[in-house]
Amino acid sequence: MAIQVATDAVVFGYEARKGLCLLLIQRKTEPFAGSWALPGGFVLEHESLEQAVQRELEEETSLRVNYMEQLYTFGDPERDPRKRVISVAYFALVKRNGQALQASTDAADARWFAMEQLPALAFDHTHIIAKALQRLQAKLSYEPLGLELLDEKFPFSELQQLYECVLQRPVDRRNFKKKFMSLGILDELNEKSVGVGRPAGLYRFNRDKYNERRQQGMVLEIL
Amino acid sequence: MAIQVATDAVVFGYEARKGLCLLLIQRKTEPFAGSWALPGGFVLEHESLEQAVQRELEEETSLRVNYMEQLYTFGDPERDPRKRVISVAYFALVKRNGQALQASTDAADARWFAMEQLPALAFDHTHIIAKALQRLQAKLSYEPLGLELLDEKFPFSELQQLYECVLQRPVDRRNFKKKFMSLGILDELNEKSVGVGRPAGLYRFNRDKYNERRQQGMVLEIL
DNA sequence: ACAAAAGTGTTCACAATACACCCATGC
DNA sequence: GCATGGGTGTATTGTGAACACTTTTGT
């Protein structure tokens, strides 16, 4: 009997109200049927690892992600109680606006959970999530990953709140804006947000400028 | 037919004369028999991934490494011409002083190659090595990994040369020493090196102090 | 007019950089 | 005494951090 290869996706979303959220599915099948778990499943013979994660994610939640990278491979012989399975975990970010979740195929349900209110999880998924959160926090400081979590257009304060929420510490408004704007990857739009208080200018991520700077070997230290 | 799981080890060594070196083995078996490749092989049913890399490394080269961490998992369906194999690559550092290489079991030969003079390699190993080198360069800047490549006792200039060699740029002697010493993780010994020119003071890595600082959440930015 | 959130500049302290001369040993 | 590499300090510049008041809107 051979070793099986699976993938799991740690998918983060962000909402101003709930803060950082995580996408989980409820398992239909043993082991851990009924438990909440990361979306994922076995890799097919002829697909790449990336294709496998994306396929599983779509099958289980009908979701398309905005950013994805490999996180880590978990291979403890005891991580699956039934057989030997190693899992290549991926780390993903998604803009939540609009996209509805829709459980299907292998999942009984799919839901967003606030990071502070995660349910008990199957396998070693708590461990995987911890690693993903570390990665997110680390990368946020030197890559503009936060922009992958926000809507197309957003007020600057939302970006700041995202940073504060993920890094779990306050961020000075003026210093943050100064530094972030100096990266030259945000465009200010001629639109204002609505709501209570003074309307805020809206910004948009300029991916072209970003790629340009990257290619020039520019290091983007944000915090 | 299932997917197979293998591990590969990218093992770096350092020698003042040759600079950064890489450990390669010559394959005995198909595919790519006779080619040079990274040490590695299939994971057994009941061992962890780490155990697998270390076992393979010992079988093929009789070497024990000094530092090891997971690098990345390579899963392109075409990476092995015969069957589907995914490989979990590890990144390792070894102090070269003394330890003799000894090819055995699965390897026809095992040798250190200077990074600038690598032979043609089997599979996607060139790609794996490129990723490992990136990782080494990146980590060297914020973790004292260089110390895992040097002898127990070393003159400060050797550490500096190691950094210059890996990062491929000159480093100012005084600034480098100031910064590195301010980390408080090196002990100066009452011994001097011998050789041509003025004898140099010898230093030793104090792992206890290092772990202490880490636990205090200290960030070690080196360059 | 008041509550709520947005916008904006300056000062200060520390850290990174650049830089050149003298010292100890072996041959 | 000369060649080789080792050792050290200071001045300048740039960057990160701290900090408070005014503006715009809705109610």
For chain D, which bases have at least one atom within 7 A of a protein Cβ? 3-10, 16-20, 23-27
Nucleotide whose C1' lies closest to the alpha carbon of residue A174 = C8
How far is residue B121's CA from residue B90's CA, in Å, rounded to a whole number?
17
How far is residue A198's CA from residue A149's CA, in Å, rounded to a whole number?
24
Residue nearest to nucleotide D23 (CA to C1'): A198
**Which pLDDT score is estimated for A107?**
80
Q: Is the pLDDT of residue A97 over 90?
A: no
Q: ∠ CA(A105), CA(A79), CA(A63), 5° rounding?
A: 30
> Domain check: are B102 and B36 in the same one?
yes
Name the nearest CA neighbour of B72 among A88, A55, A208, A212.
A88
In a domain, B15, yes or no: yes
Q: Within 7 Å: CB of B198 and strand D?
A: yes
Of A125, A155, A171, the position where a domain reaches its end is: A125
> Domain check: are A163 and A100 in the same one?
no
- The verdict on a CB contact (< 8 Å) between A3 and B4 is yes
| pLDDT per residue as tens digits for the range A98-129 | 677 777 777 889 999 999 999 999 999 999 99
Band of the pLDDT at A194, cuts 50, 70, 90?
confident
> Domain check: are A104 and A152 in the same one?
no
Based on the structure, what is the number of domains in chain B? 2
Give bridge partners of residue B37 from the DSSP assignment: B25
In a domain, B130, yes or no: no
Q: Within 7 Å: CB of B108 and strand D?
A: no
Which two three-digit tokens encode residue A61?
A: 């939640």
**Which pLDDT score is estimated for B31?**
92
Q: Within 7 Å: CB of A203 and strand C?
A: no
How far is residue B209's CA from residue B214's CA, in Å, rounded to a whole number?
9
> Domain check: are A18 and A114 in the same one?
yes
> What average pLDDT values come out for chain B (223 residues) when binned by 10 residues?
93 94 93 94 96 95 94 97 96 86 79 95 97 95 94 95 95 96 93 86 95 82 81
In a domain, A39, yes or no: yes
Q: Omega of the bond prior to A39 within 30 degrees of 0, cis?
A: no
Three-state DSSP class for residue A48:
coil
DSSP A178-209: HHHHHT--EEEEEEE--SSSS--EEEEE-HHH
> Domain check: are A157 and A93 in the same one?
no
- Could you give the percent of chain A with pLDDT greater than 90? 80
| pLDDT per residue as tens digits for the range A36-70 | 999 999 999 999 999 999 999 999 998 989 999 99
**Which pLDDT score is estimated for B58?**
92
User: Which residues in chain A are contacts of B45 at CB distance < 8 A?
Assistant: 1-3, 77, 84
Region of A168 please: left (phi>0), alpha (psi -120 to 50) or beta: left
> Domain check: are A120 and A156 in the same one?
no
> Domain check: are B178 and B211 in the same one?
yes
Domain range spanning residue A189?
A: 145-215
Residue nearest to nucleotide D15 (CA to C1'): A179
**Which pLDDT score is estimated for A216?**
80
- What is the least distance, in Å, from the CA of A4 to any CA of chain B? 7
**Which pLDDT score is estimated for B192?**
80
Of A125, A155, A172, the position where a domain reaches its end is: A125
User: Which residues in chain A are contacts of B3 at CB distance < 8 A?
Assistant: 2, 4-5, 43, 45
Of A97, A125, A153, the position where a domain reaches its end is: A125
In a domain, A135, yes or no: no
Whether residue B87 contacts residue B73, with contact meaning beta carbons closer than 8 Å, is answered with yes
User: Which residues in chain A are contacts of B49 at CB distance < 8 A?
Assistant: 73, 75, 86
Three-state DSSP class for residue A20:
strand
* B66 contacts: CB under 8 Å, gap ≥ 6: B92, B93, B94, B95, B148, B149
> Domain check: are A204 and A109 in the same one?
no
DSSP chain B: -PPEEEEEEEEEEEETTTEEEEEEEEE-SSSSTTSEE-SEEEPPTTS-HHHHHHHHHHHHH----SEEEEEEEE--TTSSSSS-EEEEEEEEE---SS------TTEEEEEEEEGGG---BSTTHHHHHHHHHHHHHHHHTTS-GGGGTS-SEEEHHHHHHHHHHHHTS---HHHHHHHHHHT--EEEEEEE--SSSS--EEEEE-HHHHHHHHHTT------
In a domain, B138, yes or no: no
Give bridge partners of residue B45 from the DSSP assignment: none
How far is residue B135's CA from residue A136's CA, in Å, rounded to a whole number?
18
- What is the least distance, in Å, from the CA of B75 to any CA of chain A? 6
B104, with CB counted inside 10 A (0-12, 13-18, 19+), is: middle
For residue A46, give the nearest of B47, B48, B77 by CB distance: B77
Residue in A closest to B69 by C-alpha: A72
Return the biggest CA–CA distance within chain A.
65
**Which pLDDT score is estimated for A1?**
63
In a domain, A222, yes or no: no
How far is residue B110's CA from residue A74's CA, in Å, rounded to a whole number?
29
CATH of the domain at B23: 3.90.79.10
- What is the least distance, in Å, from the CA of A48 to any CA of chain B? 5
> Domain check: are A77 and A176 in the same one?
no
Q: Within 7 Å: CB of A175 and strand D?
A: yes
Give the CA-to-C1' distance from A197 to D23 in angstroms.
Answer: 11
Residue B24 has, within 13 A of its CA and on its CB side, a CA count of: 22
Rg (chain A; Cα; Å) = 19
> Domain check: are B12 and B113 in the same one?
yes
For residue B5, give the nearest of A3, A46, A72 by CB distance: A3
Which pTM does this prediction carry? 0.93
Give bridge partners of residue B202 from the DSSP assignment: B155
Q: Omega of the bond prior to B31 within 30 degrees of 0, cis?
A: yes
> Domain check: are A120 and A174 in the same one?
no
Name the nearest CA neighbour of B205 among B159, B142, B162.
B159
DSSP A71-133: EEEE--TTSSSSS-EEEEEEEEE---SS------TTEEEEEEEEGGG---BSTTHHHHHHHHH
Four-residue CA torsion sign, A27, A29, A31, A32: positive
In a domain, B98, yes or no: yes
| pLDDT per residue as tens digits for the range A130-188 | 999 999 999 999 899 999 999 999 999 999 999 999 999 999 999 999 999 999 999 99
A155, with CB counted inside 10 A (0-12, 13-18, 19+), is: buried
> Domain check: are B33 and B94 in the same one?
yes
Average pLDDT (A76-87) is: 96
User: Which residues in chain A are contacts of B70 at CB distance < 8 A?
Assistant: 72-73
- The verdict on a CB contact (< 8 Å) between A77 and B48 is yes
Q: Within 7 Å: CB of B100 and strand C?
A: no
In a domain, A136, yes or no: no
CATH of the domain at A181: 1.10.10.10
